[in-house]
Amino acid sequence: MLIASSQSMHFEAPLPLQSGASIRAYELAFETYGTLNGDRSNAVLICHALNASHHVAGVYADQPQSAGWWDSMIGPGKPVDTNRFFVIGVNNLGSCFGSTGPMHAHPDSADGQVYGADFPVVTVEDWVDAQARLLDRLGIQTLAAVMGGSLGGMQALAWTLQYPARVRRAVVVASAPNLTAENIAFNEVARRAIVTDPDFHGGHFYRHGTVPKRGLRIARMIGHITYLSDDVMNAKFGRQLRSTVQEAAASSDYRYSTQEVEFQIESYLRYQGDKFADYFDANTYLLITRALDYFDPARRFGGSLTAALAPARSKFLLVSFVTDWRFAPARSREIVKALLDNQRDVSYAEIDAPHGHDAFLLDDKRYHSVVRSYFASLAAEVGV
């Protein structure tokens, strides 16, 4: 059993951001698993996606139910084997899980007001810069690998472009070289639901003692639909009606209501929305979805991903999932093609898992064995 403990590092010097703004006097929350070897060659950085944190693997000593979000992938004897690798999970700036974010005090505020909506817009590239500073402080010059799924995969890709000499291998799972119009559209609807919630108060809801829960619920419900495949939703919920013990007798028939729960998929979504609204920060949601929207390395190269990926020097593993309609396999193949155009060493696996985008978090055997092999060969390469 891997026991995790959360750490934090303070950074006083301003970090310049892509927007032109900067952020200073910030904290990064992180965790590490395994042991850094003598020549510091076995470090693996894990980048997180929208609704996750630096708590990647293991459990906290006093909380047996607190398994990290990628605990099936990372740990002793697991595909990313912490008996061989020194794994680092880091929480991104703007998050609500430990690193400095919108609900923390603005260092320039005389009376300790929190950032709220004034937290600067952060991008994937900004996060990578912040992560690089953390590695500097940990004394790690070169990563054996950087790895992430979804938005985390974008960070892994960005690492190979911003710090090509510092990354031996990059593992980019269920990701994309940028968002499509449809992806942006879903993000925008979620943001509008939050921003137009009367409890949002322009993002300064903290000082009003409110939380825009209505908007967060809607945002989460939309997100959930896009994480799952149509097939897995049909398999899991189909058109089954809600059924509680009390209502068992009645649950075989419609109750003909526009506002009450009628189908199980409705109660599932409502439950997920309620849970999320209880712990997630609305400004963080806006920031993270915007970071997704903005990521587009080809943009400065007239749309040429091949030109954009030319600086990369790492080896790559890309993994996609057939039923992922949010970041479809075709999007991973665009990255593969652009890397091959640049004569990079690329492995690519397209996994026929039924779970949609969520598959990257689950423990499909074929998926895990691809990652396991890739890290076994990396272990041999770095001699651990």
Q: Which amino acid is at 72?
A: S
Contacting a copy of itself within 194-233 (CB under 8 A) = 195-198, 203, 214, 217-218, 221-222, 224-225, 228, 230, 233
Cβ proximity to a copy of itself, 34 vs 101, nearer residue: 101
Contacts with a copy of itself, 1-40, as mask; x by CB under 8 A: -----------------xxxx-------------------
Residue 239 lies near a copy of itself (rule: CB under 8 A): yes
Q: Contacting a copy of itself (CB under 8 A), which of 178, 314, 323, 332?
A: 178
- Binding segment for a copy of itself among 27-35, 153-161, 288-296, 338-346 (CB under 8 A)? 288-296
From residue 199, give the alpha-carbon distance in Å to each of 63, 71, 213, 216, 279.
33, 36, 8, 11, 16
Tokens of 370: 């691809």
Cβ proximity to a copy of itself, 147 vs 154, nearer residue: 154
Contacts with a copy of itself, 108-127, as mask; x by CB under 8 A: ---------x---x------
- Binding segment for a copy of itself among 28-36, 156-164, 265-273, 333-341 (CB under 8 A)? 265-273
Cβ proximity of 170 and 44 under 8 Å = no
End-to-end CA distance of the chain: 21
Give the separation between CA 322 and CA 381, rounded to whole angstroms.
30
Going across the sheet that includes 43-47, the strands are: 7-11, 26-33, 86-90, 43-47, 143-149, 167-173, 315-321, 346-351
Question: Among this protein's residues, is 72 annotated catalytic?
Answer: no
Among candidate residues 98, 121, 130, 92, the one with its CA nearest the CA of residue 279: 98
Give the separation between CA 140 and CA 131, rounded to whole angstroms.
11
Residue 266 Cβ vs a copy of itself, minimum distance, rounded to whole Å: 5
Cβ proximity of 269 and 236 under 8 Å = no
Residue 117: helix, strand or coil by DSSP? helix
Tokens of 299: 């943009």
Question: Among this protein's residues, is 150 annotated catalytic?
Answer: yes
DSSP-derived letter for residue 2 is P
Tokens of 266: 């409705």
| Beta-bridge partners for 15 | 23
Residue 103 lies near a copy of itself (rule: CB under 8 A): no
Contacting a copy of itself within 304-363 (CB under 8 A) = 325
Active site residues: 150, 324, 357
Q: Tell me which residues touch a copy of itself (CB under 8 A).
A: 18-21, 117, 121, 178-182, 184-186, 188-189, 191-193, 195-198, 203, 214, 217-218, 221-222, 224-225, 228, 230, 233-234, 236-239, 254, 256-259, 262-263, 265-266, 269-270, 273, 283, 286-287, 290, 293-294, 296, 299, 325
